[in-house]
Amino acid sequence: MTFFRNKTLNKSIPIPLYYQLKEILLEYIKEHHDNEEVPIPTEKEISEHFEISRPTVRQAINELVVEGYLYRKKAKGTFVSKPKIKQDFLLILDSFDNEMRKKGLIPSTRLLNIETVKSDEKVSGALNIPLGSKVIKLTRLRFANNEPIVLVVTYLPYNKCMGILSKDLEKESMYDILENDFGYRIAGASRTLESIVAGEYEAKLLDIKKGAPIQYFESIAYLIDNTPIEYSLAKYRGDRNKFTFELKRNGHY
């Protein structure tokens, strides 16, 4: 339980406790659980540590089982599945609003939550900042023609982006604010893609069935001096999105 020692759940925000726990467990599965032969902590241990009910813990674990991250062995416990293969790719970097407008669609945004938090290991590594640094966390639901398309959680370094707390992120593009208001030039990004299924929380927000396919992106955007400025986790509904990749062959044909 060493990994969970500095992890907490925020009971004052509208994001369900089981979903917050699920994100913590997912980080533990991907980054800290090294031995696939050893089960993860029990529901009882997790519920006692976070001071939440066992049904809440069970719901988080059940979704991770459905999504393929965990599996159960009768009378032995819950184990981490073999890790997925990470696929690297290159996409044109643009704001969601601009992308939708280019397709003739009307973009809109619902800001679900904005808060300042301390960076954990994953966020610190992505933004290249010390562990426990102050960051801004945005949770947004993005729409095209009033249809929910993608759920995005974004982390920004507080010392560079504190001014964004006073902006209307339902009406203004985050990239436009960073570039036009703050003077940052975003030069590129690295992205990874996984295929997952919708849990109860995502399904409700994206208006899809629980278990429906989702395309899950992790992105880090960089300034022209290669400084990370944004770390985002985006979940696109699979029935309404497809992605095109441009590949170039090395060497001669």
The CB density around residue 123, as the number of other CB atoms within 10 Å, is 19
3-state class (DSSP) for residue 110: strand
Distance CA 245, CA 253 (A): 20
Split at pLDDT 50, 70, 90, the class of 93 is: low
Q: Kindly state the average pLDDT of the residues 71-99.
A: 70
Q: Which amino acid is at 29?
A: I
Q: Side-chain half-sphere of 151: how many Cα atoms within 13 Å?
A: 19
Domain ranges of the chain: 3-80, 87-237
Give per-residue pLDDT as tens, 163-193. Answer: 999 999 999 889 899 999 999 999 888 888 8
pLDDT mean across residues, the chain: 87
Q: Is the dihedral of CA 28, 32, 36, 39 positive or negative?
A: negative
pTM of the model: 0.75
Q: What pLDDT, on a 0 to 100 scale, did the predictor assign at position 87?
A: 36
Give per-residue pLDDT as tens, 210-244. Answer: 998 898 999 999 999 999 999 999 998 877 777 66
**What would you report as the CA-atom Rg of the chain, rounded to the nearest whole angstrom?**
19
Q: What pLDDT, on a 0 to 100 scale, did the predictor assign at position 84?
A: 58
Cβ-based neighbours of 4, under 8 Å, separated by 6 or more: 24, 28, 41, 46, 49, 50
Give the percent of the chain with pLDDT over 70.
Answer: 91
Distance CA 51, CA 81 (A): 27
Q: Give first-to-last CA distance, the chain, whole Å.
A: 53
CATH (residue range 3-80) = 1.10.10.10
Q: Do domains 3-80 and 87-237 have the same CATH topology?
A: no
Does 1.20.1290.10 match the CATH number of domain 87-237?
Answer: no
Q: Kindly state the average pLDDT of the residues 79-101.
A: 64
Give per-residue pLDDT as tens, 97-109. Answer: 777 787 777 888 9
